[in-house]
Structure 1
Amino acid sequence: MEYTFLGRTGLQVSRLCLGTMNFGPATEEKEAFRIMDAALDAGVNFFDTANVYGGEAHRGWTEEIIGRWFAQGGNRREKVVLATKVYGGMEEANDGPNHGRGLSLYKIRRHLEASLKRLQTDHIELYQMHHIERNATWDELWDAFQALVQQGTVDYIGSSNFAGWHLTLAQAKAKERHFLGLVTEQHKYSLFCREPELEVLPAAEYHGIGVIAWSPLAGGLLGGNALNADANSRTGKQAQAIEKHRPQLEQFSSLCKELGEGEANVALAWVLSHPAMTAPIIGPRTLKQFEDTLRAVEIKLDADTLAKLNEIFPGPGKPAPEAYAW
């Protein structure tokens, strides 16, 4: 496994981040345990989750599974750089009118306490805002997060789904307080989703914010099975998208065969090649899926291959404003 620094911090994390969103709804607990054990054995020390994971019927289910895995001992908790998120509604009756989506000092405090209980831990390495909050001021948000860091309950603060200007504003407000501010931005990024190259990735790179890519396989389209997907499979349900992108997928598959690599691993290697990237999130539903992705960090795409991928999956071309102006 390869490692890199988490943004501009001194903390090192694996270049693959284990995403746990499937744990519970799609992956039973025993299999989730096997995946997490295998991750540690492979050197993957970076785990990502969120308080809302588990589905509408069981918000927090995924955190509960991770907590029970930690409780087995064997220094599992000590070996993991744990990231979770806050913003979504937890269907908690005691939240009253604050039960829905959003952020406030009140909600951050309450939802962190609940996450810690579910995770059976006393601290979180990376606490992430799952979405931008448009009502609360940055003074309120940084008051909340700065207090958590000072208390030792949280080590670092991250964001997710922020625009480039959100990152810049957040950092400007943090600097006024002599606070580190954001160290990561979790963002949708893949060969099929290159819009972040316009604003988000340049802003993150400028501010030293490490990017964590979610959906790096475009919901399974780049996973290698899309062209032969069973109509009843998860990928098969994206039949309309598959047909729309079939020419690209066929060209991509042919290129991967020339390289002698699996489509998923080439797609992950491409994400890893961006200089702003800390790690893509891999979200395996089975142990085999996890094991198959480990090869991605070993693949180094040369300039010719990157150029071919750019032809198959054209991006915006340049960052803003050159992408749409002189």
Structure 2
Amino acid sequence: MQYAHLGRSGLKVSRLALGTMNFGDATDEATSFEIMDAAVEAGINLFDTADVYGGPQSPGMKQGYGLSEEIIGRWLAQGGGRRERIVLATKVYQPMGPGPNDKYLSAYRIRRAAEDSLRRLRTDHIDLYQMHHVDRSAPWEEIWQAMEQLVREGKVTYVGSSNFAGWQLATAQNAAAARAFMGLVSEQSLYNLTARTVELEVIPALRHYGIGLLPWSPLGGGLLGGVLRKARDGRRATPRMREAVERHRPQLEAYEALCAGIGEQPADVALAWLLRNPVLSAVIVGPRTPEQLAAGRRALDVTLSDDTLRTLDEIWPGPGGEAPEAYAW
């Protein structure tokens, strides 16, 4: 396994992070345990979850909320040095109940959410506590006060964000600096060959502030995982996936042909393309089975030539570079 610093922090995390959104939903507990055991055996130390994982992520209380954390907690409770071998990351923001304060990022909510996550995870501290989304109604003075208190109490070690815009990252970091607080060390963003908007302003902000990028959905929801070949092999797709395939069919045909031409699997090429970005700390992969986890490790050994990178840019063009040069002189 390869490791990198989590942003500008001294903490080292595996270049592949285990995403656990499927635990308790698409993946049962026994299989989840197998995946976590295999991840640790492979040297993966960054485990990413969220309080809301385990059921449908939509407003209102849904059955299954907190189940992913509970499964991880029961896995950790087996002992054997499991807790000491992983960097445990979870999130706060999404609705976890019907009450007006069961969501978002008030100091009231952050404190209660952290305690609830610690209980479900059966641990005394969260290594990386991430804001799942920006809360435009909560002032940064309030948010950082709550996070600082958790850090002082030893319940949280580092703080991260997810789905922030570039200007929100800058605002958060400037507010943290004014309090002599470290602020954010990581940002989870939607980033893959089919979704490159973050190249405009988010990635430049991350580089400037020393915040590590943790891309989620690196395979575009499966679109970059060899979807055309799987269809030819008789694999059935959801209506949503079939619609996406038809929308991107010319690009997918060119992409899968390119991958075949260089002798690599489409999923490995998609992950390797992300891993070459120096702002990136780790790619979050969300396997549903141990076999899917094992397959993803191959990407660490894939090297993409300059010609291949140019062709990928032609097939999946980005926004034209970084802002403002991408759209202004």
Q: Is the Cα–Cα contact under 8 Å of residues 160 and 187 in structure 1 kept in the other structure?
A: yes
Which one-letter code corresponds to 2:18 in the other structure? L
1:162, distance to aligned residue in structure 2 (A): 0.2
Which one-letter code corresponds to 1:311 in the other structure? E
C-alpha distance 114-225 of structure 1, shift in aligned 2 (>3 A): same
1:143-292 to 2 correspondence within 5 Å?
143-229=145-231, 233-234=236-237, 237-292=240-295
In structure 2, what is the equivalent of residue 119 of structure 1? 121
In structure 1, what is the equivalent of residue 68 of structure 2? 62
Residues 121-154 of structure 1: CA deviation (Å, up to 9, x unaligned):
0001000000001111100000000111111110
1:110, distance to aligned residue in structure 2 (A): 0.4
1:97, distance to aligned residue in structure 2 (A): 2.2
1:290-309 to 2 correspondence within 5 Å?
290-309=293-312
Aligned length: 322
In structure 1, what is the equivalent of residue 91 of structure 2? 85
Q: Is the Cα–Cα contact under 8 Å of residues 225 and 235 in structure 1 kept in the other structure?
A: no
In structure 2, what is the equivalent of residue 130 of structure 1? 132
Q: Is the Cα–Cα contact under 8 Å of residues 272 and 299 in structure 2 kept in the other structure?
A: yes
Residues 181-211 of structure 1: CA deviation (Å, up to 9, x unaligned):
0000000000000000000001001110000
C-alpha distance 231-144 of structure 1, shift in aligned 2 (>3 A): farther
Which one-letter code corresponds to 1:73 in the other structure? G
Residues 254-310 of structure 1: CA deviation (Å, up to 9, x unaligned):
111122111001100001111211111100001111110001111121222111110
Distance 1:212 1:234 in 2: 27
The worse-fitting range, judged by mean Cα deviation, of 230-239 and 168-177 is: 230-239
Distance 2:291 2:230 in 1: 19
In structure 2, what is the equivalent of residue 73 of structure 1? 79
Structure 1 residue runs without a partner (length 5+): none
Distance 2:154 2:310 in 1: 46
Which one-letter code corresponds to 2:42 in the other structure? A
Which one-letter code corresponds to 1:162 in the other structure? F
The percent identity for this pair of structures is 58
In structure 2, what is the equivalent of residue 139 of structure 1? 141
In structure 2, what is the equivalent of residue 48 of structure 1? 48
Q: Is the Cα–Cα contact under 8 Å of residues 33 and 69 in structure 1 kept in the other structure?
A: yes
Q: Is the Cα–Cα contact under 8 Å of residues 138 and 170 in structure 1 kept in the other structure?
A: yes
Structure 2 residue runs without a partner (length 5+): 56-61
1:13, distance to aligned residue in structure 2 (A): 0.3
1:158, distance to aligned residue in structure 2 (A): 0.1
Q: Is the Cα–Cα contact under 8 Å of residues 18 and 47 in structure 2 kept in the other structure?
A: yes
Which one-letter code corresponds to 1:66 in the other structure? I
**Of 301, 312, 315, which aligns to 2:315?**
312
Which one-letter code corresponds to 1:144 in the other structure? A
Q: Is the Cα–Cα contact under 8 Å of residues 191 and 313 in structure 1 kept in the other structure?
A: yes
TM normalised by structure 1 equals 0.96
Distance 2:100 2:2 in 1: 45
In structure 2, what is the equivalent of residue 13 of structure 1? 13
The worse-fitting range, judged by mean Cα deviation, of 78-87 and 274-283 is: 274-283
Distance 1:265 1:37 in 2: 22
1:87-102 to 2 correspondence within 5 Å?
87-91=93-97, 96-99=99-102, 101-102=103-104
Distance 1:196 1:235 in 2: 27
Distance 2:255 2:226 in 1: 9
Q: Is the Cα–Cα contact under 8 Å of residues 231 and 239 in structure 1 kept in the other structure?
A: no
1:160, distance to aligned residue in structure 2 (A): 0.2
Residues 233-271 of structure 1: CA deviation (Å, up to 9, x unaligned):
455641111011111111111111122111001100001
TM normalised by structure 2 equals 0.95
Q: Is the Cα–Cα contact under 8 Å of residues 19 and 287 in structure 2 kept in the other structure?
A: yes
Which one-letter code corresponds to 2:73 in the other structure? G
Distance 2:227 2:293 in 1: 15
Residues 17-43 of structure 1: CA deviation (Å, up to 9, x unaligned):
100000111001111101100001100
Q: What do you get for the CA RMSD once the two structures are aligned?
A: 1.4
Which one-letter code corresponds to 2:263 in the other structure? G
Residues 45-102 of structure 1: CA deviation (Å, up to 9, x unaligned):
01100000011211000000000000111111110101000001112x6xx3212x31
Q: Is the Cα–Cα contact under 8 Å of residues 124 and 155 in structure 1 kept in the other structure?
A: yes
